[in-house]
Chain A
C-alpha cells in the first residue's frame, strides 16, 4: 500500500475548521486520490474544540489519524494546536495561527491560557510555522478569511501543487459571489507568504 497523507486540522467551533478540511479534501479528490475525512461535530459547534481528520492516498481504510501519525497539523488557534501536538509525527510540520480565542472558563479565572503555546510546541521538538492569521484576515477585511489564510499557509507542504488547493478554494467561493473570489485569492496568497511561500502565477 502506498503512503497515506494524514492532515489534522484543529481549532474552535465557528472558525471554519470543517470547511477548510472539506476544501483540502476536494483538492485531493480532484487528483483522483481515495479520501476519507472525519470530525467530531455536535456540541463542538458552540465554541468547543473542533478537530477534523483528513487522510488521502491510493486506498484509505480507517478515517482516523492515530496519535503521532499526522504529517501536517493545521492549528486555527494556538492553544488548540498545543492541545493536539501529540497527533503530529515527530518529523511532521505544524502550521499555527498564533491568534488566541480565550474561552469563558479562562475569563472566569478558573483556568489559565498557556503562556506561549507556540514556544511550548517548539520546546517539545516540533517544527512549527506560526503567524497571526486572525490579524492578517482582519487586515484583509474579514476575520472569516482566516481559514483561507491558513489553507494558503499549508499549500506548499502538500504532496500536490499549491495551485490545486488554490483552485479548490476559489471554486468553493466562486459560484456565489465574484468579489469573494478575489478576497480569497488574496487571503490564500497572504497565508502562503506568511510562511515563506512564493506567489503563484494568476
Chain B
C-alpha cells in the first residue's frame, strides 16, 4: 500500500522525538536515509518515507544502512541512518572506518538506547561509541531539542567532516511534545571527488588519516566549550549542582526547580573546562546520566570532584521519583515514606502471540517434541520462550540462532548425544544476519534443523517490509526473495528444504520429526503471513460446544489468547492418577478461524460459530 501524505507546513506541531528527528532530517535537505526497524527507533524512517525529495529505505541490517548513508555522503549529499542501540553494534564495523575517512555531505546517525529495556535483549549506553569512534555525540532532552539538534548535527558534521551521533533514548523517541518546525532547504550534492588517499582505507592510506581524526576531535572539544548546545541554568539552592544530558535534564528540572544545572547537548567530547567552572560555583556536583558513569569518570579523571553512580542507580531511567530520594540521601536528609498507596501485586501480563499467529502452531509442535534443544532468535517468535510452549532455549542477538545451534552441535558431549538441535529464525532476521550463519552450518556440516518462519513481515516492530515481502518502504513492488532457492544457494540440499503451512500441525510435526532424524542441515520454511498485516484474511470463527468439552486442555496448550478457561476440575483416573481438567470457551469476537485449536481437540468440541451464536457468546463472556 503506497503511503502518500501531505507534509504539513511549518507550524507548532505535537511530535514524538522520532517524528521531530524525521522532520528535521527532511528539512535539512537530506537526500538519503536508511534504517533497519528496531524499537524505539523504528518510526523515524517510517515517517521519513512519507516525505518527498529524498530516498528512504529499509536496509537489511544496520551496517548496510550506515554504508548506504556513507555512500551518499561521499558524493556530497546529506545522509542519515537510524538504529536502536544493538543495531549500532552491528553497524560498528562501518562506523569505525567511517570515522577514519571522515564524511563529505553531512552524515547523522540516530541511535536509540532502550533505557529501562522495554523491548530489548540488553541495556547499553551508546554514548560509548562516541568515545570509541572519536565522533561527536548530541543528546536531546525532548522533542523540540530532538528537532533542533538534528539540524545542528548536520551543520556540525559538515563543519568537522565527521559523522555525528544523535543519541536518543526511549523517553525521547516515544515522548510527544510541542515542536516549532520550519521548512526544507535544498542542499545540492557537491559531487564525488576521486581521492583514494581519502576513501580507500588500505593501511598506507588509513595511517596518515588518523592524525586528521584526532585534530577533528580537538576541534569538536573546543566547539563543546563554546556551543550554545551546552548551557547552564542558574539556581538559588547551590547545595547541589547537577550535570545532566538527555532526558535527565527535564527530570532534574522537575524534581529540583531551584538547583543550578549544567545541561550537555554536545556531550562528547565533554566540555571539561566549562564543567570545572560550573563545579566551582556549587557545594557538591551530582552527575545524572543514563545509564553508564561516563561523564562522571571523565570529570573525575580531570580532577573535578563529583558524585554520580555512588548515589544513583546504574540501571534504568532516572525519573524524578528515582532522583528525589537519592538526592535527599546525598544531602543527609531522612527520606520519608511515600504518601501514596503502595504498589499492588497483580499477576504478570507478559506480551503474547496474537490470536491465530502462524507461529502458534510451530511452537505448539515444538513443545510436543522430546529431546530437542531449540536455539532462538530476535522477533515476535522469541515469545515462544514463554507459556505455554516454553519452546526456546536460547536467544542472544539478531541471527545468532544459527551460529549458536552449530556451536551446540559441535560442542556437545555425551549428555546431549541423543538430542536434536533446532534453530528458529524469522524471515527478516534471516536476511539481517542469519544467512551467514546458515552458510556456516552447511559448510561445516552441522547437524541442525532450521525452522525459517516466513510471515512476510518484520513482525515485532509493526510489520515493515523486507526483501521477503517483495515490497519496499513505500509499499511498491520490487524483488522478492525465494527463501527455498536462497537456502539451496547457501548449501542446503534441495531435498532437505520443505515449504509448509504452519496451520497443518500433523504435516509440520512429521517434517520436524523426519528432518531432525537425518544428520545433515535441513530447513523447514513456514509460509503464512503475519495476522496483523493488511493482506491477512480472517476466516469464520470457532466456538466450543460446552457439553462436548471434556476439559482435556489440549487447546489451551496451543497458546492462542482467544481461548479462555471457564472452569477447572480434578479427576482421579482408574489407575489412581490425578488429572487436571480445564474447560474452555473461545472468545468468538477475537477468533479469526485459523483452526489451530481444532486439531488437538480430542472430543471434537470446537466447531464453527454461526453469526447468531457469536453475538450471544460475546455478550455471555463479557458479563
- In the complex, whether B332 has a CB less than 8 A from a CB of chain A is no
- A29, B320: Cβ atoms under 8 Å? no
Chain A nearest CB, measured from B194 CB (Å): 45
A13 to B247, CA, bound (A): 26
Q: Of A34, A68, A110, which one neighbours B387 at CB under 8 angstroms?
A: A110
- In the complex, whether B189 has a CB less than 8 A from a CB of chain A is no
- Interface residues as binary, B171-183 with A (CB distance below 8 Å gives 1, 0 otherwise): 1001111100000
A-side contacts of B40, CB under 8 Å? 41-42
A-side contacts of B619, CB under 8 Å? 135, 138
Interface centre among B170, B174, B321, B346 (most CB of A within 10 A): B346
- Interface residues as binary, B306-344 with A (CB distance below 8 Å gives 1, 0 otherwise): 000000000001011100100000000000001111111
Given A67-B340, A114-B346, check contact A38 B174 (CB 8 Å). Answer: yes
A158 to B138, CA, bound (A): 38
Given A104-B559, A105-B348, check contact A68 B340 (CB 8 Å). Answer: yes
Given A66-B321, A103-B352, check contact A109 B175 (CB 8 Å). Answer: no
- A46, B388: Cβ atoms under 8 Å? no
- A46, B254: Cβ atoms under 8 Å? no
- Output the nearest chain A residue to B618 by Cβ-Cβ distance: A138
- A104, B352: Cβ atoms under 8 Å? yes
- Output the nearest chain B residue to A38 by Cβ-Cβ distance: B175
- B171, A135: Cβ atoms under 8 Å? no
8 A Cβ contacts from A35-53 to B: 35-49
- In the complex, whether A202 has a CB less than 8 A from a CB of chain B is no
- In the complex, whether B510 has a CB less than 8 A from a CB of chain A is no
B-side contacts of A125, CB under 8 Å? 341
Q: Of B14, B250, B342, which one neighbours A62 at CB under 8 angstroms?
A: B250
- In the complex, whether A83 has a CB less than 8 A from a CB of chain B is yes
A37 to B175, CA, bound (A): 5
A66 to B383, CA, bound (A): 30
- In the complex, whether A189 has a CB less than 8 A from a CB of chain B is no
Interface centre among A60, A80, A104 (most CB of B within 10 A): A104
- In the complex, whether B535 has a CB less than 8 A from a CB of chain A is no
- In the complex, whether B582 has a CB less than 8 A from a CB of chain A is yes
- B344, A126: Cβ atoms under 8 Å? no
- In the complex, whether A120 has a CB less than 8 A from a CB of chain B is yes
- In the complex, whether B563 has a CB less than 8 A from a CB of chain A is yes
Interface window among A84-92, A148-156, A159-167, A177-185: A84-92
Chain A nearest CB, measured from B3 CB (Å): 16
- Interface size (A, Cβ < 8 Å)? 65
Q: Of B352, B354, B563, B622, which one neighbours A134 at CB under 8 angstroms?
A: B622
- In the complex, whether B573 has a CB less than 8 A from a CB of chain A is no
8 A Cβ contacts from B360-392 to A: 380, 383, 387-388
A-side contacts of B116, CB under 8 Å? 40
- Interface size (B, Cβ < 8 Å)? 63
- B174, A67: Cβ atoms under 8 Å? no
- B623, A37: Cβ atoms under 8 Å? no
Q: Of B176, B253, B347, which one neighbours A106 at CB under 8 angstroms?
A: B347
- B622, A43: Cβ atoms under 8 Å? no
Interface centre among A37, A66, A106 (most CB of B within 10 A): A66
A-side contacts of B341, CB under 8 Å? 68, 85-86, 88, 90, 124-126
A29 to B346, CA, bound (A): 34
Interface centre among A39, A40, A63, A126 (most CB of B within 10 A): A63
8 A Cβ contacts from B241-262 to A: 247, 250-251, 253-255, 257
B-side contacts of A119, CB under 8 Å? none
Q: Of A40, A66, A87, which one neighbours B320 at CB under 8 angstroms?
A: A66
- A46, B352: Cβ atoms under 8 Å? yes
- In the complex, whether A108 has a CB less than 8 A from a CB of chain B is yes
- B340, A46: Cβ atoms under 8 Å? no
Given A35-B14, A43-B118, A90-B339, check contact A107 B344 (CB 8 Å). Answer: no
- Interface residues as binary, A114-133 with B (CB distance below 8 Å gives 1, 0 otherwise): 10010010001110000010
A79 to B346, CA, bound (A): 7
- In the complex, whether B556 has a CB less than 8 A from a CB of chain A is yes
- Output the nearest chain A residue to B255 by Cβ-Cβ distance: A62
8 A Cβ contacts from A16-44 to B: 22, 25-26, 29, 34-44
- B118, A41: Cβ atoms under 8 Å? yes
Given A61-B250, A62-B251, check contact A38 B344 (CB 8 Å). Answer: no
Chain B nearest CB, measured from A155 CB (Å): 20
- In the complex, whether B47 has a CB less than 8 A from a CB of chain A is no
Chain A nearest CB, measured from B171 CB (Å): 6
- B320, A35: Cβ atoms under 8 Å? no
- A35, B353: Cβ atoms under 8 Å? no
B-side contacts of A103, CB under 8 Å? 347, 349-350, 352, 561
A138 to B619, CA, bound (A): 8
B-side contacts of A63, CB under 8 Å? 142, 171, 175, 177, 247, 250
B-side contacts of A40, CB under 8 Å? 116, 118, 170, 174
A-side contacts of B387, CB under 8 Å? 104-105, 108, 110
B-side contacts of A89, CB under 8 Å? 340
Given A63-B250, A64-B320, check contact A12 B176 (CB 8 Å). Answer: no
Chain A nearest CB, measured from B596 CB (Å): 14
B-side contacts of A187, CB under 8 Å? none
8 A Cβ contacts from A70-98 to B: 79-80, 82-83, 85-90
Chain B nearest CB, measured from A48 CB (Å): 4
Interface centre among A41, A80, A112, A126 (most CB of B within 10 A): A41
8 A Cβ contacts from A132-151 to B: 132, 134-135, 138, 143
**14 contacting pairs across A/B (C-beta < 8 A):** A36-B176, A37-B176, A40-B118, A41-B39, A44-B351, A64-B171, A67-B321, A67-B340, A88-B341, A90-B341, A104-B561, A106-B347, A107-B565, A135-B619
- Sample of 10 more A-B contacts, CB < 8 Å, known A43-B119, A79-B346: A29-B178, A40-B170, A42-B40, A63-B171, A104-B561, A108-B556, A112-B347, A120-B344, A125-B341, A135-B619
Top 7 closest pairs, chain A to chain B, by CB:
A68-B340, A42-B119, A111-B347, A48-B351, A66-B321, A62-B254, A46-B351
